[in-house]
Structure 1
């Protein structure tokens, strides 16, 4: 609904450095407050206090904490985007090495704060900005994984485009689930099992 989406939109888009710094202070403070107090108790008053600004100043930028959380989700997704796949250790090697680099990159991006990640997964409302960011990030990541797999001689799948989509979805959804509650299993075991799963799929009838 358009009215619901308006509730999730930032009120002020910073045009000056000072305003951008204030906006970043609000988002940083909110991340700490949500992680420390949880979402229900993570009030805008607490966020403003942590950011050392007045509640009125906070409301100049965001209408409510739902809009702040939605913006944190957008920032989280954008910070996890690959600017260049060459920054990953994807030099020619075994297929398992390439897959491990992809899996480890996803894990590393979600290590920082399990509590905040869990809140983003469970509580964030899907504003238009969130939906657009997820769609843009997903298309970019699928294209990059497709490019990586297309360059490896050991990949044996019938449809490389579909394979890239399946791998991105499998890696990211399972990584989100584990890192939001890392007590369920060790990260090292999760990484090994997910690498095995994806590698065997890509090898087809070959043995890893």
Structure 2
């Protein structure tokens, strides 16, 4: 009896259909890329971007340098991909925070709605600060950060203008810039601590920002500010 035709156009029970193979290869490749980017984030945080090497990233990922080079030609390409993904998450975090920044919220709730997701993002993605603020970072990454940064400042200015319609544009920009500078300084302290100390620094940051913004935006008593200390007899 002649053997059945097992041409490439006919899948056998033991052989997946040809169209299924690229899907599996693509999924495997995405997993490998995610593994390499996670390793790169760890190495960048440990050594800084400049001192990091592709060999160190491959070692952290548990693969050979040759495997790494199948996906990325050099460290800069890794940084671009990691930066793009972090920037996308950062933009989503900004969107969540600023969408909640409605002008009818009391100032304490406004600070919670804006600051909590931004603090959480930076805590969960420590490589973001390394890539956005470290020396010798590829210019495209820092340019993208500057764009998002400017968008955040613009939104803060809009919120302030909504509360203070008669305020000049220069003063509104000044209040927004100062608010963001205070946030960045407080964020550095928050990320340098863990557990209860971190929560305490979050409360302190909100208290500082409340006391600065309340004369402009709030209708609450400073005694109700987050972290305010109330003396008892």
What range is the shorter-chain TM-score in? 0.5 to 0.7
Distance 2:194 2:118 in 1: 18
Structure number with the bigger relative contact order (C-alpha 8 A, sep ≥ 6) is: 1
Count matched residues. Answer: 189
Q: Does 1:188 align with 2:199?
A: yes
Which runs of 5 or more structure 2 residues have no equivalent in the other structure? 1-24, 223-233
Distance 2:81 2:44 in 1: 13
Q: Residue 157 of structure 2 contacts residue 176 of structure 2 at CA under 8 Å; is this kept in 1?
A: yes
Q: Residue 39 of structure 2 contacts residue 60 of structure 2 at CA under 8 Å; is this kept in 1?
A: yes
Distance 2:125 2:97 in 1: 25
Q: Residue 43 of structure 2 contacts residue 57 of structure 2 at CA under 8 Å; is this kept in 1?
A: yes
Among candidates 46, 54, 67, match of residue 44 of structure 1:
54
RMSD of the TM alignment (CA)?
A: 4.0
TM-score, length of structure 1 as denominator length: 0.66
Tell me what 1:80 maps to.
90
Q: Residue 70 of structure 1 contacts residue 125 of structure 1 at CA under 8 Å; is this kept in 2?
A: no
Among candidates 111, 126, 136, match of residue 147 of structure 2:
136
**Bigger radius of gyration:** 2
For residues 146-183 of structure 1, give each alpha carbon's deviation from its aligned partner in whole angstroms, at most 9, with x where no partner exists: 23333347x997622221222123213431x2244215
For residues 50-129 of structure 1, the aligned pairs below 5 Å read 51=61, 54-65=64-75, 68-69=78-79, 71-81=81-91, 82-83=94-95, 85=97, 87-88=99-100, 90=102, 92-112=104-124, 116=127, 120=131, 125-129=136-140
Q: Residue 161 of structure 2 contacts residue 167 of structure 2 at CA under 8 Å; is this kept in 1?
A: no
Change (3 A) 1:138 1:41: closer
Tell me what 2:162 maps to.
151
Tell me what 1:5 maps to.
none
Q: Residue 132 of structure 2 contacts residue 141 of structure 2 at CA under 8 Å; is this kept in 1?
A: no
Which runs of 5 or more structure 1 residues have no equivalent in the other structure? 1-15
